[in-house]
């Protein structure tokens, strides 16, 4: 399933990987930023809360008791809850000595007046304030007044429960206690429309940059792939210009060297085979002249037959060498018309050859070479199977031509052996039939020159199938 969704090209896969890495990095950065921001905002809120608590205490010290309630109402906020109590709050959690010292120093309190502060990790909401005194609406009243009332006169739902940063109480000179609770200031979520737009813009820029950089790498690789495919079809192209990054340039240079070495190796082997075959003509001709002066008899007849077989093998070797060295240019060919014409030629000579052609493809190939390949397969089919059927179809990006005969077939262990030069399964036959065992070798060579494959396989019912596959 993943393979179907992911792009198949190298450029697409690298872009997906780069964007996935960028998105993951952005999410990690947002989480870290959100944590750091919460910590920084909390620290600032704590300092501000300590300063405001100290200011309220000083204000209460210089104000009449009748104004205490109004002072608390005016001093409350979303993040600071204030109230009065008649006794010291009980210690809950870990005592915060640092804030106690700061408050005592700010207020100038002596040791006779108590200050109690401790940290807490609970979350509180309306009705959860145990330190609230009966001095009117609770700490949430100020927030509710800020958010407005409903038409029914009821207060709107309270805000979400907030986390307490620290809480405590300060003893006033009057003997009462000022109870306070500092809450976390709600930090907006790190993800927003602006952040999304910024991320999309960065992803677009990264995509464009990756496409530009990869084009410099992919273009030489595409040319290399095309050159390799043409070289596999037997076309000798010019050496590629080394372009792109250093690794790609090294790869192109290595391919150019390999192509040059292979061409020299094939040409040297072909020239050597042609030279050997040509040089053997002189002694064979001399032997034939000597045998002509021999007295008639069985020895002379057998010697001439052996010499004729050697000459046929020599001519076949020269033909094989020429096929290796000569390369017909590629051109567009209507394969259906070529098969119909070839089968009709055999039918006119009395051979039982039929064809079943479902398509009419036009492909780039060497028509004379393809005709010779099919002639070899059809001729073998007529020779060993009497009746031949030719089929044509396209599958998996290849043109498939099947030549089936209705003969005895070939043993499975020898299906590959028949492609070797001078291999004949009918060794007991009279050598005067003119065949020396190079037909299938030459046919396979011609197929390989077009980048295809020649496969032999036995039909499940009867006969042999010669299958020619040529890439479209």
The verdict on 174 and 231 lying in the same domain is no
Give the pLDDT confidence of 81-140 residue by residue, as tens digits. Answer: 888 888 878 766 677 788 888 888 888 887 778 888 887 544 444 444 444 433 433 443
The verdict on 70 and 117 lying in the same domain is yes
The verdict on 161 and 261 lying in the same domain is no
Residue 299 lies in a domain: no
The verdict on 224 and 128 lying in the same domain is no
0.75 cut: is pTM over it? no
The verdict on 124 and 240 lying in the same domain is no
Report how many domains make up the chain: 3
Residue 257 lies in a domain: yes
Q: Within 13 A of 43's CA, how many CA atoms are on the CB side?
A: 5
From 261, 279, 297, the end of a domain falls on: 279
Residue 285 lies in a domain: no
Which DSSP string do the residues of 73-132 spell out, in sequence order? HHH--SSEEEEEESSPPPP-S-B-HHHHHHHHHHHT--TTS-EEEEE---EE-TT--TT-
Strand 387-395 and strand 352-357: the pairing is: parallel
Give the pLDDT confidence of 427-472 residue by residue, as tens digits. Answer: 444 444 555 567 788 888 888 878 788 999 998 888 899 999 988 7
Residue 311 lies in a domain: no
The verdict on 254 and 123 lying in the same domain is no
**Which residues of the chain fall short of a pLDDT of 50?**
121-160, 427-432
Strand 453-458 and strand 464-471: the pairing is: antiparallel
Which residues constitute the domain of residue 245? 218-279
The verdict on 237 and 173 lying in the same domain is no
The verdict on 269 and 389 lying in the same domain is no
Tell me what pLDDT residue 52 has. 87
Residue 421 lies in a domain: yes
The verdict on 347 and 411 lying in the same domain is yes
Provide the 3-class DSSP secondary structure of residue 230: helix
The verdict on 178 and 232 lying in the same domain is no
The verdict on 60 and 146 lying in the same domain is yes
Residue 18 lies in a domain: no
**CATH code where residue 353 lies:** 3.30.565.10
The verdict on 43 and 161 lying in the same domain is yes
Task: Say how far apart CA 312 and CA 212 lie, in whole Å.
Answer: 61
Residue 284 lies in a domain: no
Residue 130 lies in a domain: yes
- Name every residue whose Cβ is closer than 8 Å to that of residue 339 and which is 6 or more positions away in sequence: 355, 357, 374, 390, 392, 401
């Amino acid at each position: 399933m993943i393979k179907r969704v992911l792009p198949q090209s190298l450029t697409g896969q690298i872009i997906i990987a780069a964007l996935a890495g960028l998105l993951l990095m952005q999410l990690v950065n947002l989480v870290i930023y959100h944590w750091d921001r919460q910590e920084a905002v909390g620290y600032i809120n704590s300092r501000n809360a300590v300063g405001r608590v100290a200011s309220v205490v000083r204000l209460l010290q210089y104000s009449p008791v009748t104004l205490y309630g109004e002072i608390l109402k005016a001093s409350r906020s979303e993040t600071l809850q204030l109230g009065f109590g008649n006794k010291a709050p009980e210690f809950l959690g870990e005592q915060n000595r640092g804030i106690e010292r700061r408050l005592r120093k700010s207020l100038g309190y002596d040791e006779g007046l108590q200050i109690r502060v401790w940290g807490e990790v609970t979350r509180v909401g309306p009705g959860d304030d145990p330190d609230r005194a009966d001095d009117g609406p609770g700490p949430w009243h100020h927030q509710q007044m800020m958010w407005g009332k409903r038409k029914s006169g009821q207060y709107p739902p309270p805000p979400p429960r907030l986390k307490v940063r620290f809480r405590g109480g300060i003893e006033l000179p009057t003997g009462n206690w000022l109870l306070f609770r500092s809450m976390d200031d709600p930090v907006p979520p790190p993800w927003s429309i602006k952040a999304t737009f910024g991320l999309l813009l960065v992803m677009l820029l990264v995509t464009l940059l990756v496409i530009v950089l990869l084009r410099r790498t992919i273009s030489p690789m595409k040319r290399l792939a095309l050159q390799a495919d043409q070289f596999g079809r037997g076309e000798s192209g010019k050496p590629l210009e080394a372009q792109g990054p250093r690794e790609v340039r090294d790869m192109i240079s290595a391919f150019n060297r390999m192509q040059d070495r292979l061409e020299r190796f094939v040409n040297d082997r072909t020239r050597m085979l042609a030279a050997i075959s040509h040089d053997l003509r002189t002694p064979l001709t001399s032997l034939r002249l000597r045998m002509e002066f021999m007295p008639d008899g069985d020895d002379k007849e057998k010697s001439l037959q052996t010499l004729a077989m050697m000459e046929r093998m020599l001519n076949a070797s020269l033909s094989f060498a020429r096929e290796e060295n000569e390369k017909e240019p590629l051109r567009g060919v209507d394969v259906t018309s070529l098969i119909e014409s070839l089968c009709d030629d055999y039918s006119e000579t009395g051979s039982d050859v039929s064809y079943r052609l479902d398509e009419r493809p036009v492909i780039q190939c060497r028509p004379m070479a393809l005709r010779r390949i099919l002639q070899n397969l059809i001729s073998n089919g007529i020779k060993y199977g009497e009746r031949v059927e030719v089929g044509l179809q396209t599958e998996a990006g290849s043109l498939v031509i099947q030549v089936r005969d209705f003969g005895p077939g070939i043993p499975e262990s020898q299906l590959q052996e028949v492609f070797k030069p001078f291999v004949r399964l009918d060794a007991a036959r009279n050598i005067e039939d003119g065949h020396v065992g190079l037909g299938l070798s030459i046919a396979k060579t011609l197929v390989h020159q077009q980048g295809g494959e020649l496969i032999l396989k036995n039909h499940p019912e009867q006969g042999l199938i010669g299958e020619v596959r040529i890439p479209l």
